[in-house]
Amino acid sequence: MAPKRPSKSNNDDDDSQSGSASEVEVEETSPPPKRPRRSTAASSKTDNTADLERLKKLEAQMARFNKAKNELAALQAKLGTEKSRTASKQILDEESAESEEDQNPVPRPSSIREIATYTAPDPPQPKKLRRVGPAAPKPTPSIRSTALKNLPARESSPDYPAFAAGSSLANDNGPADHVAARSTEPLPFHVTSATPVLVPTTTAPPPSASTSSTTITSSGQPEKTSDVVLKAAAYRDPTSIPKKPKASAYEETVTALILRACFEYEALISTHDAFPDSATRTKWALRCWTRAGRDAGESDYDISPPISTLIRNRGSRIRSHGIDITRQQVMTALGFE
């Protein structure tokens, strides 16, 4: 007997059943629905709110900390003040107690005897060593205050008039005949003996101190005219003559004459020629020495090579002084100060 074919209706029922089964399986295996996301603005607002709350808490904590710190500093200062007051009060109490003890000494029994206090003398100090003999220190030489006082004015001296302003000193022949004869350096000017020379009335010195005043002729040969006695400048201490000439090394009168001649020489350097030649410097030194001797009434002193060197060396001193003054004025005028 042949099998029965399923009818079409049966096939349709089977297809419907299988379709429903597959739909159930699909529904069972599908994922759960997703939750709706929050917006980004809402999440950032929540985070900012939390940060602001934390910041406020930290600020409150810092304020409490600063307040506690200030209170601690004030308390420490107060304690320090109280300690210093206590210490000073304690010191005053101790001093008052000591003074009371001194005023009210404790009575001692008769068997105890007080011993007077004794202060030991200081140990002997070693004596300072002093140089004696030739090596002993010498006091600074002093110039007599009356050496340059009560002297006639230079303008009123008839024998030796003052230098005229703007005149040429190179051709000016003054009364320096007896000094020129004793000078060791040649003089580039004519020397005459027309001016009288003061000769001391005392006894004549040794022959080594005498000389002859001369006149230089046109042929260059000196002509002997008259004998003149001159005194050599004496040192304060003939036993120790300095190697470098110093005005203070001579006796008081000679020192005063040297200083006066130096002042006049500086005036010539400042007003006539700042850089004269060697012959002019020698001539000026000779004339300044002569004028200083005549004004002081001590014209019988001879000018020695050391004295001439002292006078001629004053040129560099006054030049440097003038340069300093000029530099200061130029700096002020140009606005460097």
Q: pLDDT of the chain along its 337 residues, tens only?
A: 445 554 544 555 555 555 555 554 545 556 666 666 655 655 666 778 888 888 999 999 999 999 999 999 999 898 888 888 888 888 877 777 766 655 665 666 666 766 777 788 888 887 777 777 777 777 666 666 665 565 555 554 444 444 444 444 444 444 444 444 444 444 444 444 343 333 334 444 444 444 444 444 444 444 444 456 677 777 878 787 778 878 888 888 888 899 999 999 998 988 888 888 999 999 999 999 999 888 888 878 888 888 888 899 888 888 888 888 888 888 777 776 5
Residues in contact with 318: Cβ distance below 8 Å, sequence separation at least 6, in sequence order: 266, 269, 270
Count of CB atoms situated within 10 Å of the CB of 281: 21
Is the separation of the CB atoms in 228 and 199 below 8 Å? yes
Q: How far is CA 88 from the centre of its chain?
A: 46
State how many domains the chain has. Answer: 1
**218 lies in a domain?**
yes
**61 lies in a domain?**
no
Residues in contact with 42: Cβ distance below 8 Å, sequence separation at least 6, in sequence order: none
Alpha-carbon distance of 100 to 110, in angstroms, equals: 23
**45 lies in a domain?**
no
Q: What is the pTM of this model?
A: 0.34
Q: Domain range spanning residue 254?
A: 170-334
**195 lies in a domain?**
yes
**55 lies in a domain?**
no
**13 lies in a domain?**
no
**155 lies in a domain?**
no
The CA-atom distances, in angstroms, between 48 and each of 41, 44, 53, 55, 259 are 11, 6, 9, 10, 99
Q: Side-chain half-sphere of 71: how many Cα atoms within 13 Å? A: 6
**242 lies in a domain?**
yes
At 6, is the secondary structure helix, strand, or coil? coil
